[in-house]
């Protein structure tokens, strides 16, 4: 699928793929990885997933990557957090506590 498809879905609020709760399989099986505290966890296609918060609550540093600026904005707005923002070759970084979301366009 093309990037524009997903961007349009976010613009239209057609985000039936978004869960308002943590993915049950993630919560059930995460401990089996036995990652040390403060491990960096990568979440591709992060959207505004509650998994980001859950992983941070487990003591990890969370790095998500997302295509939609609406998703990134909604994530931080819903958490009532003002992230620090900086640019890099990877994209625009939004950082608040242990959570970092990189807004990355398609190449």
State pLDDT tens for residues 51-91. Answer: 999 999 999 999 999 999 999 999 999 999 999 999 999 99
The pLDDT-based confidence of 107 (bands split at 50, 70, 90) is very low
d(CA 105, CA 2): 11
Q: What DSSP string runs through 72-102?
A: HHHHHHHTT---EEEEETTEEEEEETTEEEE
The pLDDT-based confidence of 21 (bands split at 50, 70, 90) is very high
- Nearest by Cα to 38 from 26, 25, 56: 56
**3-103 has CATH 3.40.50.150 classification:** yes
- Domain residues of the chain, as ranges? 3-103
What is the rounded average pLDDT of the residues 43-52?
95
Q: Where are the alpha helices (DSSP H) in the chain?
A: 3-12, 24-29, 50-57, 69-78
DSSP H or E run through 41: strand 40-43
Whole-model pTM: value is 0.91
């Amino acid at each position: 699928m093309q990037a524009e498809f997903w961007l349009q879905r976010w613009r239209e609020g057609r985000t039936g793929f978004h869960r308002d709760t943590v993915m049950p399989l993630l919560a059930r099986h995460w401990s089996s990885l036995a990652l040390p505290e403060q491990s960096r966890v990568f979440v591709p296609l992060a959207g505004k997933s509650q998994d980001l918060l859950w992983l941070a609550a487990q003591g990890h540093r969370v790095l998500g990557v997302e295509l939609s600026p609406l998703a990134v904005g909604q994530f931080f707005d819903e958490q009532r957090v003002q992230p620090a923002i900086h640019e890099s070759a990877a994209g625009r970084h939004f950082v608040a506590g242990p959570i970092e979301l990189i807004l990355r366009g398609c190449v």
